[in-house]
Amino acid sequence: MKVELIGILVALANILGAGMIVPQAIRIHRYGDFGGVSAVWIGVGIGMNLWWLGYAVQGQLWGLVPVSAAAVGLYSIIALQCLNLAGRSSWRSLALGVFGLGSLPLPFLVFGSWSSAGLVIGLCYGLQFAPALFSAFRSDRLDGISQLTWSMAFIEAAIWVVYGTSVGDQALMVGGGGGAAMAILILLRIRFVQPGTMPRFASLGCWACDGKQQSTNRASGTGRPNRLRLMRRRAAMKPTL
């Protein structure tokens, strides 16, 4: 019975882990805008999930393989969207995420073992959420942050704590605990901020709104930009031949 329950939890964690990335990719595709999204975060996501994939394979933690592989693929799709929209200027940030912050476990693997590298991978799990956490606490307008996404992140992280405990894996326990803590902090931040407001850069479709447009939105009580008015403004800004 315990084995069956763990299997169900791992399957759920895989679904949640991959599923929480999908809304971001869809949002970028829908609005064709990369404003407010951190390229470093994408790079870190690719790098750290590659580490989790390697750690899972060498440790025969097969329940961790699907979500890690899927996450690498989904983060890579967002990276391609980034390069398509932001151009070559985003290469440096992506590279910093993958080869800079994403390579932190490498010295521990080279001079130690997979066991010590695994602990570092676990500690770095929360690093993937750091840009989102920083943005949430920097702004007092958070309507654009999805509570569902971070609820999914918390549940997934908590499941990995349970799974890590059941198989005696410290990296999973540390990583899951750190990820759960980061997700809880973001959810608490959303909970105690006055509703009906929108964070700066939160909506990919309205990052170029000026102060006047935002004031109009607040006065109307919607807290959201008028997309038609924004499109007209952008069209008016295009140079005429």
CA distances from 10 to 17, 144, 176, 240 (A): 10, 30, 13, 56
pTM value? 0.65
pLDDT tens per residue across span 148-188: 778 888 998 898 888 888 888 888 888 889 889 999 998 89
pLDDT at 60: 86
Nearest in space to 178 (alpha carbons), one of 164, 199, 192, 166? 164
**What are the boundaries of each domain within the chain?**
2-191, 208-241
Give yes or no for residue 50 having a pLDDT over 90.
Answer: yes
Q: What is the structure's pLDDT at 111? A: 92
The letter for the amino acid at 152 is M
Identify whether the C-beta of residue 104 lies closer than 8 Å to the C-beta of residue 120.
yes
Q: What is the pLDDT of residue 3?
A: 58
Q: What token pair was written down for 118?
A: 């695994």
106-143 pLDDT, tens digit per residue, is 999 999 988 888 888 888 877 778 777 887 787 776 65
State which amino acid sits at residue 5: L
Residue with tokens 């961790």: 64
Map residue 125 onto helix, strand or coil: helix
How many CA atoms, within 13 angstroms, populate the side-chain half-sphere of residue 181?
13
How many Å apart are CA 142 and CA 202, to the nearest integer? 7
Distances (CA, A) of 38 to 76, 120, 194, 236: 14, 23, 25, 28
Highest mean pLDDT out of 80-84, 204-208, 209-213:
80-84
Give CA 78 to chain center in angstroms: 11
Both structure tokens of 225? 């930009």
Residue 219 has pLDDT above 50, yes or no: no
pLDDT for residue 228: 54
240 pLDDT more than 70: no
